[in-house]
Structure 1
Amino acid sequence: MGFLDIKQATKSYGAVQVLQETNISIEEGEFLVLVGPSGCGKSTLLNMIAGLEGVTTGDISVRGRSMNGVKPADRNIAMVFQSYALYPNMTVRGNISFGMEMHGIAKPERAKRIDQVADLLQITHLLDRKPGQLSGGQRQRVAMGRALVREPDIFLFDEPLSNLDAKLRVDMRTEIKKLHQKLGTTIVYVTHDQIEALTLSTRIAVMYGGFVQQLGTPKEIYDNPANMFVAGFMGSPSMNLFPAKVVSLNGKPAAEVALADSTKAAIPFASDQLSSSLGRDIILGIRPEAITDLDGADRNSRAIHVVETPVEVTEPAGSDTFVVSQISGKDVTARFRADVAVNAGDVYPFAFNMEKAVVFDPQSENRIA
């Protein structure tokens, strides 16, 4: 049994089931991120944990106590909203204090907690200002402070950084991670941003169509995606996915692909796992950083194989150059070193690290190797 247990939980609105049967067990101190595109059910699940939405079937429990039918105010759960939800007529101090007042916490204790949290979040100098006088990042800190002073069992974050500009999002991501490491709090965090999910979490639940597609650590999700949706959704740029056929090359299984100049190339797999699948159509998945210029390839890999193919587009990105070619009719992105002299139209050697390749079934889209 975990600290927070979600057991066979579903949510329906009339005949429409928006959250399919969901099972997640969260340990105390974990940082779980629910990630997925809009409409996948992640915010619905967060609202069910908070008590803002009821559970249609199944159960959600905290510390072994079922939350079904328990009012939000009685759950000892604090939520940080996307919109901050601050009272505009109250000062920062008043906003942070309000929830504690409602829970009957004595004034001296309230003052002590406010000072502690304001110092932690570096907003002491803002305590007498009103929300209209604050920047977006400062408002987000106040919203977090209001949650922290309650000392809840669980913190829920509902896309808290989506209203911030790109640089501030990165800064606040770092602050939230530092906060979690310092306090060891249990956090469930919703986002559609897979970079947020990978950088913040101890575990990720990737959601799509009301289902949890995969639950695992960031490394497990990134390196070993369970299906093509997870492979394509997680990572920036996303994993390359293109058709291939399993063939034999020197007695070993290889992925046969079509190049842009109408020739074919066979790229040997790193293992013999697909030896019994000769002739089978597959989808080959390989991340951009596993397709490089030859000098930039992983020197520790024993499965680097070179394919010469025409370059379609180059995209300089400062520390790297992304190089796009076409393989089996799909744009395939490689990550080259920044100083590699490569131009559109060149026929260039691409080094594939097949130790990093994964294989999916084209029909079920589930991973097979």
Structure 2
Amino acid sequence: MGFLDINNVTKSYGAVEVLHKVDIAVEEGEFLVLVGPSGCGKSTLLNMIAGLEDITSGEIGINGRVVNGVHPSNRNIAMVFQSYALYPNMTVGQNITFGLEMHGVPKPERDKAMNDVAKLLQIEQLLDRKPGQLSGGQRQRVAMGRALVRDPDVFLFDEPLSNLDAKLRVDMRTEIKKLHEKLKTTIVYVTHDQIEAMTLSTRIAVMYEGYVQQLGTPKEIYDTPANLFVATFMGSPAMNIMNAKVVMKDGRPHASLVTSEGGEALLPFSQDNMSEWDGKEILLGIRPEAITDPDGADRKSSNVVALENRIIVTEPAGSDTFVTTNLGGKDVISRLRADVPVSAGEMFGFAVNMEKAVAFDPATEKRIEG
């Protein structure tokens, strides 16, 4: 049982079920990110926690109390919206303390809470301004301040950075992370941005079509995706997925793939369970950083395999060079060090870290577990 319990929760609109038996237990102080594409049900789930949407079946509990049917104002939660939802006719200070005023908190206490939060968010100089005089990043800080001043059990963030430009999003992401490290608050955060999910969370729930596809730490989600959707949704660039066949050689299972020149590459698996798939087709997943140049390969890995293949495209990206080649009948992206001399059309000696390889069942699209 967690601090926030989502037990077998479903949501239907008429005959259409849009959330299917969601089970998540969030511990106190945890930062849970709900991530997935538009329409996957993540915002609907957040709104059900907040009390803005009714629960069709199941239970939601906060701090040991079932809150089904409890009004949002009585759930002791605070929400930060995508649109900021600030009152334009009020000053920043009034926006921050308005909720406290509505709950009958005396003015001296309101002022102290406001000043403490303003100092924490570094917006003391903005307290007398109106929202229309603020930048997007400043408005977001004010919206966060309004939530923080309440000292709730759970903070809910609904895509709070999606209206900001790229640089400001990175800056605010860092600020939110620092805030969580300092306050140790319980946060549920919705985003469609998998980079936000990976960098902010202590755990991630990857959602698609109303189902939680996988729940785990960022490392678990990234290294051992539960299925093809998670593998290709999480990570930038996405995990490479190639057609392969399992063959036994010297008593060890290998992935057999067609190379760019039409030959065969035999890449030995690190996990023994692939022996059961001898002679069968699989989908092989390898992340770009596990296909690199020999000097850039992981020195700790005991299963780095050399592979000659032709380069199709090179993309210098400052700190890295991304290279596209063809393997297993698919275009495959590899991540090389920035100073590796490569050119389109030439053969290149790649180093493939098979310790990082993941195999999927083509029929179910689920990861073949070791």
Q: TM-score, structure 1 length as denominator?
A: 0.99
Contact 2:157 2:188 in 1 (8 A): yes
Residue of structure 1 equivalent to 2:273: 273
Contact 2:244 2:281 in 1 (8 A): yes
| Alignment gaps of 5+ in structure 1 | none
Structure 1 residue 249: Cα displacement: 2.3
Matches within 5 A, 1:278-317: 278-317=278-317
Query: For 2:322 and 2:29, how far apart are their aligned partners in 1?
Result: 38
Matched AA of 1:308? E
Structure 1 residue 175: Cα displacement: 0.3
Matched AA of 1:214? Q
Residue of structure 2 equivalent to 1:49: 49
Structure 1 residue 333: Cα displacement: 0.7
Query: For 1:182 and 1:267, how far apart are their aligned partners in 2?
Result: 46
Residue of structure 2 equivalent to 1:241: 241
Structure 1 residue 143: Cα displacement: 0.1
Residue of structure 2 equivalent to 1:343: 343
In angstroms, what is the RMSD of aligned CA positions? Answer: 0.8
Residue of structure 2 equivalent to 1:135: 135
Bigger mean CA deviation after superposition, 269-278 or 25-34: 269-278
Matched AA of 2:143? A
Q: Which runs of 4 or more aligned residues in structure 1 lie more than 3 Å from their structure 2 counterparts after TM superposition?
A: none
Residue of structure 2 equivalent to 1:164: 164
Structure 1 residue 276: Cα displacement: 2.5
Residue of structure 2 equivalent to 1:359: 359
SS of residue paired to 1:322: strand
SS of residue paired to 1:254: strand
Structure 1 residue 265: Cα displacement: 1.2
Matches within 5 A, 1:174-185: 174-185=174-185
Matches within 5 A, 1:26-175: 26-175=26-175
SS of residue paired to 1:343: coil
Structure 1 residue 251: Cα displacement: 2.6
Query: For 1:276 and 1:8, how far apart are their aligned partners in 2?
Result: 35
Query: For 1:142 and 1:299, how far apart are their aligned partners in 2?
Result: 47
Query: For 1:8 and 1:340, how far apart are their aligned partners in 2?
Result: 51
Query: For 2:253 and 2:151, how far apart are their aligned partners in 1?
Result: 56
SS of residue paired to 2:37: coil
Query: For 1:157 and 1:111, how far apart are their aligned partners in 2?
Result: 24
SS of residue paired to 1:274: helix
Query: For 1:330 and 1:47, how far apart are their aligned partners in 2?
Result: 40
Query: For 2:345 and 2:89, how far apart are their aligned partners in 1?
Result: 61
| Alignment gaps of 5+ in structure 2 | none
Matches within 5 A, 1:185-334: 185-334=185-334
Query: For 1:365 and 1:73, how far apart are their aligned partners in 2?
Result: 43
Query: For 1:265 and 1:82, how far apart are their aligned partners in 2?
Result: 48
Structure 1 residue 237: Cα displacement: 0.7
Query: For 2:21 and 2:270, how far apart are their aligned partners in 1?
Result: 37
Contact 2:63 2:153 in 1 (8 A): no
Query: For 1:241 and 1:281, how far apart are their aligned partners in 2?
Result: 13
Query: For 1:296 and 1:64, how far apart are their aligned partners in 2?
Result: 50
SS of residue paired to 2:273: coil
Structure 1 residue 15: Cα displacement: 1.0
Structure 1 residue 343: Cα displacement: 0.7
Structure 1 residue 64: Cα displacement: 1.7
Structure 1 residue 259: Cα displacement: 1.6
Structure 1 residue 295: Cα displacement: 1.2
Structure 1 residue 250: Cα displacement: 2.6
Structure 1 residue 327: Cα displacement: 1.1
Query: For 1:294 and 1:75, how far apart are their aligned partners in 2?
Result: 55
Query: For 2:262 and 2:357, how far apart are their aligned partners in 1?
Result: 23
Structure 1 residue 281: Cα displacement: 0.5
SS of residue paired to 1:101: helix
Deviation track 1:13-70 (CA, whole Å, cap 9, x = no partner) reads 0011111110000111000000000000000000000000000000001122111110
SS of residue paired to 2:241: strand
Bigger mean CA deviation after superposition, 265-274 or 29-38: 265-274
Deviation track 1:164-223 (CA, whole Å, cap 9, x = no partner) reads 011100000000010001111000000000010010001000000100000011111111
Query: For 2:271 and 2:73, how far apart are their aligned partners in 1?
Result: 55
Fraction of identical pairs, as percent: 71
SS of residue paired to 2:43: helix
Bigger mean CA deviation after superposition, 148-157 or 268-277: 268-277
Query: For 1:180 and 1:129, how far apart are their aligned partners in 2?
Result: 27
Query: For 2:205 and 2:251, how far apart are their aligned partners in 1?
Result: 40
Query: For 1:271 and 1:90, how far apart are their aligned partners in 2?
Result: 61
Query: For 2:23 and 2:83, how far apart are their aligned partners in 1?
Result: 29
